[in-house]
A and B are shown apart, each in its own frame.
Chain A
Amino acid sequence: MSAPVRVSPLLDAQRSQASKWTQPEGMQSVAAFGPGDAAHLHQVGIGDLSFRRRAGVKGTGAAAWLKSLGIETPERPNSWLRMPDGTLVLRLGMTEFLVEDVPGGGHAARMQATAPSHGVYPVPRFDASLVIAGREALELTRQTCAFDFATLSPQAQTVAMTSMVGVGITAIALNGSDGLRYRLWCDGTYGSYLWSTLVEVARDLGGGEVGLDALGRIAQV
């Protein structure tokens, strides 16, 4: 039997706006919303990276357990690192970790398949995961969040857990060839609301939703 179909937490919210679909990592995702996608990305674009495979774990033994699986962990609480193969590892607070694979990666699957040892507590996750990029990205955060995103340093690789439009989120800032972008994760059951709200604000600022095609490299790294 083929692998069961994974469904994105944002599918219902995006369905009516999408014009082209794709299935990265077995999850139905929007390849393109419309011809405005690329322009939105430049001004302020909201992209959906929920399709990435993820796993979480916490506990006093979590760091050592991850190491035994060949997964590097950041040293400081509330910081992130990128492994040589591109895997993103976030340290949430003191003893919790979120591991996000690049497309085709297998760390999350291996975590889920490996029995936890003492002091290791697996954290199943169903995240809605967004990327915000563009000229007005910081302004969008100013209109939706009381936390100062300007203090999220891509160099210091800090992680912030805060509240945006009333929803708990985890946020980091990344530097790219096209400038600064923010990655957000939130509980999938709030995902549709977060997506729709941020897209509405982005539209007010002259941007909007962006499909995976227009995201290009951003969706891959």
Chain B
Amino acid sequence: MKRLSVMPDEWLDRSRVVRFRFEGRSFEGFAGDSISSALWAAGQRTLGRSFKYHRPRGILSAANHDVNVMVQDGQRLNTRGDVVEVREGMDLSAVNTFGGLANDRARHLNRLSRFLPVGFYYKAFHNKRLFPLWERMFRRVTGLGVLDFSTPHIRTPKRYDFCDVLVIGAGPSGLSAALAAADAGARVAICDENARAGGSGLYQLGGDTARADATRSLLARVRAHDNIRLLEGTYAAGYYADQWVPLIDRERMTKMRAKSVIVASGAFEQPSVFRNNDLPGVMNGSAMQRLIYRYALRPCDSAVVLAGNADGYRVALDLMAAGARVEAVVDMRASVPASPLVDALKARGIEPLAGHAIQEAHPDGRGELAGVTLVKLDGSGRPVAGSERRIACDGVAMSTGWSPTMNLLYQAGTRMRFDDLLQQFVPDQLPEGVFACGRSNGVYTFESRMADGVRAGLAAAAHAGLGEAAPVGVPPEAEAPSLAWPIVPHPDGKNFVDFDEDLQVKDFENAVQEGYDNIELLKRFSTVGMGPSQGKHSNMTALRILARLTGKSPQQVGTTTARPFFHPVPLSHLAGRGFSPQRLSPLHGRHAAHGAVFMQAGAWLRPEYYAVGGKSRIDCIREEARRVRTAVGLIDVGTLGKLEVRGPQAAEFLNRCYTGRYDNMKVGATRYAVMCDESGVLSDEGVVARIADDVFYFTTTSSGAATVYRELSRLNTEWKLDCGLVNLTGAYSAMNLAGPASRKVLSQLTDMDLSSAAFPYLAIRCGTVAGIPVRMMRVGFVGEWGYEIHVPAEYGPTLWDALMKAGEASGIGPFGVEAQRLLRLEKGHLIVSQDTDGLTHPFEVGMDWAVKFDKLFFTGKRSLQILRTMPLKRKLVGFRLAENHSGEAPKECHLVIRDGDIAGRVTSISWSPHVGRYIGLAFLPPDMAAVGTPFTIRLSDGGTVNAEVCDTPFFDPKDERQKEIA
């Protein structure tokens, strides 16, 4: 654990010393140190406690492929020591300890491991009565941090980005791929999760500078290339459809759209499996190399290297170059293939022990590595009894195999094939636009990796329409980079496969024995690969074990689904700014000035009512309604959908879309319109006005505006009638001036003839009001003499002001959505999707008159013909409560109960000041729909209310208010 002199590619800034605390003690490191490297450099070898057994743990991968070193950094959770840089003043604690790292009280669980076999969660704690007790225990004992609820909610700005070729991974093959693609003319973005690019090219060196020099040269060319953007400290979190990849860095998420994606993300080293392979001091060979070359650390003083591939020999040479003593190189292969690496080792006096393995690692008093027992293997890979030999050491480098980093390739839909020579999965069929190179593609030899990168880069650029793919010769691997069976059995177990979940070999044997012998079942029963590192260091080994236990090949066993995200993504990055479109009427400022209390109505913000000091909400609403009935009110109805259809076949178009007939309308008339879908269900309603022979102006419900316009556009695309459809919803402002004084108010602002002879009920007239061009209709929605005035939106506020001013003398006031709903209910008018549902057809709501079967075709005609012959299941009727009703009143959707069964429901209900009772609309069976029929409504608490069917309209049943007053 000694700090070495400056390494050429070290990540340290030795001019800046960083002081921090870990588990209550002070430590020092350099800027650029990771938490793991700074602690290791200071001699701290126990860095965490394992999840289940609370065994002491040290560095395993030094790459965030395991969570041995997971710490809490103040409010920051999920801090991975391997990849988080030390910061001045950091105060860190290990997670998942019961009383601190050193004296974790839960460490005694290690001795109870016999009673905590795989799957014990499912068996021991299923008693319903006792479960709350167990749950409390679990939360205390197994948490991975303590949440501080005052942690600020942060949002970071997400962004989109675009490139021709995205290269994921900036190691030797990725850098080569980026250069080849860029030289072909592609705009390339290349990202690497590490703080500095270069990947294994800068640490898998074998004590020789050649690889590092070559990698450094590639890196320099990449940095200098105009067509390449290098994104360090940035990882690809997942692969989404059509080459869409979220890139995560410390600040934010970038949603990158590429034409081609090259996965060059290397491989995860898999720990060898032997008893006590988890002692602090035992680590992956590549972890030792990272410590040496990135952090200028000698990882141990005396090392045993467990090899099964050429990489192990490089590790041994790197250790020696760092000044460590290599006690032994133990090769699990029966014979060691000749290579310059072996020669170099022998030249330094080390003779590799072929056909040997580590049977067991031994802890010292603190539970950290103090030595190993070597053993000879027989022809079937089993330890030969009596061949044990003990060696003292403080470091073990495991180098027996890899698992390619294929997560994103899987997510893209790549089909994989298990290669028996390489002993790993390789891409067999890549989807269009997705490419792989380097170790992710099964290419391990250094020169081959660069060539493979060039091949992929050219192919990716060609797919993006630049240059041409060229066949680049990549010779097959001479040596397997991974052992088929890197596992040494031991009767006392503690030979770990998944370090996150504390799973040892016998856990897999037990699971399979219990019948969980399929990879999906094995995963869920044993929890292998379900910990924070999501199987990065364990999935391949687990697969090998399952294959052997079930007598299948790895190809047959298959893999589980790799899901995003590749590393955990902070919620701040996912939240982003959050865009929720808000639609505002042109009169919005006027409403706010009048004290409007707004409500969300779809995307629109509408005035629910206008607040008056000292008055309750319900009183304000009733007062607004009263003013409309006795004087005059003004409401903004600009959210209504407004459409115009123009042309020789405009009437025919409306005839086909709505159930009514419009070809026989006079110019200047309006007509209520009902729209049904193909099944005859009410989908929308509005008013159609004929402004000219070939021009119709019609409205839709506010919520239906966009959908109706879109669907009508589609229909005319099909029908190709001689007419055109225009959406004026946003272009026009509309307001309803209603009440006995409305004509008096309006007449002050216009020269138009407002007499009932010239402008009858339900007519439309065009003219000017207050100098503004208007389309005006006399409508009956609220049941008072009134005008629905439509104007170009830019004049809306001006008209509103003029009307309010002209109405001052008459006591005008604005009214909102709630008052309008009360007024229309008093007239018995239904609101689509409140008083109708997804199955309501016109005959259920008394709209037989609106359906004109004498048309050749309209949407829903055939269905309505069928429905007309069928008995009605329900009818929408008006009802009222008793005059002297007291206590709670029913609400919308309260049920009508008859003989203990559901007979119908309330759709609208309100106290009516003008009728003096609660009134409403409800669905009832036809045999209960006669006027005067009593029925019961059930409230939420089970209580019942008596009601009686009555006629509608409730108020002014003969529409006298629309007739000329003397």
Chain A positions within 8 Å of B, measured between CB atoms, are 1-9, 11-12, 15, 27, 58-59, 116, 118-119, 121-126, 139, 142-146, 148, 150, 165-167, 187-193, 197, 200-201, 204
B158, CB-defined interface residue at 8 Å: yes
Q: Known A4-B771, A9-B793, A126-B730; judge A165-B581 contact (CB<8 A).
A: yes
B731, CB-defined interface residue at 8 Å: yes
29 pairs of residues in contact across A and B, judged by CB atoms under 8 Å: A1-B771, A2-B771, A3-B771, A5-B795, A5-B798, A6-B795, A6-B798, A8-B794, A9-B794, A11-B589, A12-B588, A15-B589, A58-B724, A58-B726, A123-B731, A124-B728, A124-B792, A142-B160, A143-B160, A188-B586, A189-B729, A189-B730, A189-B793, A190-B582, A190-B583, A191-B584, A192-B588, A193-B581, A200-B577
Q: Known A124-B732, A146-B160, A201-B157; judge A4-B582 contact (CB<8 A).
A: no
Within 8 A of A (CB), among B792-829: 792-799
Residues of A within 8 A of B584 (CB): 12, 189-193
B951, CB-defined interface residue at 8 Å: no
B141, CB-defined interface residue at 8 Å: no
Q: Known A121-B724, A187-B730, A188-B793; judge A166-B589 contact (CB<8 A).
A: no
In the assembled complex, the CB of A64 is this many whole angstroms from the nearest CB of chain B, namely 15
Nearest CB in chain A to that of B772: its residue: A4
Looking at chain A's contact residues, the main secondary structure is mixed
Q: Known A121-B646, A126-B793; judge A189-B585 contact (CB<8 A).
A: yes
The size class of the interface chain B forms with chain A is 35 or more
In the assembled complex, the CB of A7 is this many whole angstroms from the nearest CB of chain B, namely 4
In the assembled complex, the CB of A116 is this many whole angstroms from the nearest CB of chain B, namely 7
Q: CA separation between A192 and B604, bound complex, in Å? A: 12
B599, CB-defined interface residue at 8 Å: no
Residues of B within 8 A of A188 (CB): 586, 730-731, 793-794
Q: Mark B60-81, 1 if CB is under 8 A from A, else 0.
A: 0000000000000000000000
B161, CB-defined interface residue at 8 Å: yes
Instruction: Please state if B162 and A123 are interface contacts (CB–CB under 8 Å).
Output: no
Instruction: Return the contact of A6 from the options B161, B579, B730, B794 (Cβ within 8 A).
Output: B794
Instruction: Please state if B586 and A143 are interface contacts (CB–CB under 8 Å).
Output: no
Nearest CB in chain B to that of A148: its residue: B162
Nearest CB in chain B to that of A6: its residue: B794
* 17 further interface pairs, Cβ-Cβ under 8 Å (given A27-B794, A121-B726, A165-B579): A4-B795, A9-B586, A9-B793, A9-B794, A12-B584, A15-B589, A58-B726, A116-B646, A121-B646, A124-B726, A125-B731, A126-B793, A143-B577, A144-B579, A146-B257, A189-B729, A201-B157
B898, CB-defined interface residue at 8 Å: no
Residues of A within 8 A of B162 (CB): 148, 150
Residues of A within 8 A of B726 (CB): 58, 121-124
Q: CA separation between A4 and B584, bound complex, in Å? A: 22
Instruction: Please state if B798 and A189 are interface contacts (CB–CB under 8 Å).
Output: no
Instruction: Please state if B793 and A197 are interface contacts (CB–CB under 8 Å).
Output: no
In the assembled complex, the CB of B653 is this many whole angstroms from the nearest CB of chain A, namely 12
Q: CA separation between A197 and B730, bound complex, in Å? A: 19
Q: CA separation between A139 and B161, bound complex, in Å? A: 9
Instruction: Please state if B157 and A4 are interface contacts (CB–CB under 8 Å).
Output: no
Q: CA separation between A69 and B796, bound complex, in Å? A: 29
In the assembled complex, the CB of A25 is this many whole angstroms from the nearest CB of chain B, namely 10
In the assembled complex, the CB of B606 is this many whole angstroms from the nearest CB of chain A, namely 12
Q: CA separation between A116 and B722, bound complex, in Å? A: 14
In the assembled complex, the CB of A125 is this many whole angstroms from the nearest CB of chain B, namely 6
Instruction: Return the contact of A193 from the options B583, B638, B646, B792 (Cβ within 8 A).
Output: B583
Residues of A within 8 A of B794 (CB): 6-9, 27, 126, 188
Q: CA separation between A123 and B643, bound complex, in Å? A: 10
Q: Known A121-B726, A189-B586, A204-B157; judge A126-B581 contact (CB<8 A).
A: no
Residues of A within 8 A of B586 (CB): 7, 9, 126, 188-189
Q: CA separation between A118 and B792, bound complex, in Å? A: 23
Q: Mark B139-166, 1 if CB is under 8 A from A, else 0.
A: 0000000000000000001111110000
Instruction: Return the contact of B795 from the options A7, A58, A192, A197 (Cβ within 8 A).
Output: A7
Top 9 A-B residue pairs of the complex, sorted by shortest distance between their CB atoms: A121-B724, A126-B793, A12-B589, A187-B730, A166-B581, A165-B579, A124-B731, A6-B794, A193-B582
In the assembled complex, the CB of A132 is this many whole angstroms from the nearest CB of chain B, namely 15
- Count: A-B pairs, CB below 8 Å: 120
B770, CB-defined interface residue at 8 Å: yes
In the assembled complex, the CB of A202 is this many whole angstroms from the nearest CB of chain B, namely 12
B580, CB-defined interface residue at 8 Å: yes
Best-buried of A124, A167, A204 by chain B (most CB within 10 Å): A124
Instruction: Please state if A143 and B157 are interface contacts (CB–CB under 8 Å).
Output: yes
Q: CA separation between A200 and B157, bound complex, in Å? A: 11
Residues of A within 8 A of B725 (CB): 121
Q: CA separation between A192 and B592, bound complex, in Å? A: 14
Residues of A within 8 A of B796 (CB): 7
B852, CB-defined interface residue at 8 Å: no
Instruction: Please state if A167 and B581 are interface contacts (CB–CB under 8 Å).
Output: yes
Residues of A within 8 A of B795 (CB): 4-7
In the assembled complex, the CB of A127 is this many whole angstroms from the nearest CB of chain B, namely 9
Residues of B within 8 A of A121 (CB): 644, 646-647, 724-726
Q: CA separation between A18 and B225, bound complex, in Å? A: 46
Within 8 A of A (CB), among B813-863: none
Residues of A within 8 A of B799 (CB): 4
Residues of A within 8 A of B255 (CB): 146
Residues of B within 8 A of A6 (CB): 794-795, 798
Residues of B within 8 A of A58 (CB): 724, 726
Residues of A within 8 A of B798 (CB): 4-7
Q: Mark B582-621, 1 if CB is under 8 A from A, else 0.
A: 1111101100100000000000100000000000000000
Nearest CB in chain B to that of A53: its residue: B794
Nearest CB in chain A to that of B644: its residue: A121
Q: CA separation between A5 and B800, bound complex, in Å? A: 12
Instruction: Return the contact of B158 from the options A4, A8, A139, A143 (Cβ within 8 A).
Output: A143
Nearest CB in chain A to that of B796: its residue: A7
Q: CA separation between A3 and B724, bound complex, in Å? A: 31
Nearest CB in chain A to that of B730: its residue: A187
Q: CA separation between A165 and B162, bound complex, in Å? A: 18
Q: CA separation between A6 and B589, bound complex, in Å? A: 14
Instruction: Please state if B592 and A12 are interface contacts (CB–CB under 8 Å).
Output: yes
Instruction: Please state if B159 and A142 are interface contacts (CB–CB under 8 Å).
Output: yes
Residues of B within 8 A of A197 (CB): 579
Residues of B within 8 A of A204 (CB): 157
Within 8 A of A (CB), among B251-269: 255, 257
Nearest CB in chain A to that of B799: its residue: A4
Q: CA separation between A139 and B725, bound complex, in Å? A: 37
Residues of B within 8 A of A2 (CB): 771
Q: CA separation between A115 and B858, bound complex, in Å? A: 31
Instruction: Please state if B579 and A166 are interface contacts (CB–CB under 8 Å).
Output: yes
Q: CA separation between A189 and B638, bound complex, in Å? A: 10
Instruction: Please state if B724 and A126 are interface contacts (CB–CB under 8 Å).
Output: no
Residues of A within 8 A of B793 (CB): 9, 126, 188-189
Residues of A within 8 A of B729 (CB): 189
Nearest CB in chain B to that of A166: its residue: B581
Instruction: Please state if A143 and B581 are interface contacts (CB–CB under 8 Å).
Output: no
Q: CA separation between A125 and B728, bound complex, in Å? A: 8
In the assembled complex, the CB of B634 is this many whole angstroms from the nearest CB of chain A, namely 17
Q: CA separation between A2 and B728, bound complex, in Å? A: 26
Q: CA separation between A192 and B581, bound complex, in Å? A: 10
Q: Mark B710-754, 1 if CB is under 8 A from A, else 0.
A: 000000000000101110111110000000000000000000000
Q: CA separation between A148 and B647, bound complex, in Å? A: 38
Q: CA separation between A1 and B731, bound complex, in Å? A: 24
Q: CA separation between A191 and B588, bound complex, in Å? A: 12
Nearest CB in chain B to that of A151: its residue: B162
Residues of B within 8 A of A1 (CB): 771
Q: CA separation between A167 and B583, bound complex, in Å? A: 10
In the assembled complex, the CB of B642 is this many whole angstroms from the nearest CB of chain A, namely 10
Best-buried of A139, A143, A166 by chain B (most CB within 10 Å): A143
Residues of B within 8 A of A146 (CB): 160, 255, 257
Nearest CB in chain A to that of B795: its residue: A4
Residues of A within 8 A of B588 (CB): 12, 192
